[in-house]
Amino acid sequence: MMQIRKTYTDINPELLYAEIRDFALKQGLTLGENKQETYTIPDESAMFISRGNLSFSSRDGECLRVHIVGSKRGETKLMIDTDDKLFPGEKLQALQEDLDFVVSSYEAEE
């Protein structure tokens, strides 16, 4: 099992969600769970937090699970869990390279 964690600033979580979905499908995976929810922030009726969950399978079973939580203004957290027996490292690296190319400018400084 491998895990990738990233924090982004001022990126629309729905955009991040869509990009990861498309990049995973590009790697030949099948989309399973595809759930996105939006919540209002207490005392801030014009601000929202988005939460997204995605799961993907190969022929042998679930191999990739994605969790995204964040808001358009502020931080968005990304967590990707992979089963390296079902989703080889080179495919994960290709997915990560595509993702970094598109959204790395939003990645938070640590």
Higher pLDDT, 28 or 1: 28
This prediction has a pTM of 0.89
Residue 110 pLDDT > 70: no
Residue 96 pLDDT > 70: yes
What is the arithmetic mean of pLDDT over 79-89?
94
Under 8 Å between Cβ of 50 and 37: yes
Residue 73 pLDDT > 90: no
Residue for token digits 């191999």?
63
Residues 94, 91: Cα–Cα separation, whole Å: 5
**For 48-72, what is each residue's pLDDT tens digit?**
899 999 999 999 999 999 999 999 8
Residue 45 pLDDT > 80: no
For 97, the 3-state DSSP assignment is helix
> According to the model, what pLDDT value does residue 109 have?
80
42, exposed or middle or buried, with CB in 10 Å at 0-12, 13-18, 19+? exposed
Domains along the chain with CATH numbers: 2-103 (3.60.90)
Average pLDDT over the chain reads 93
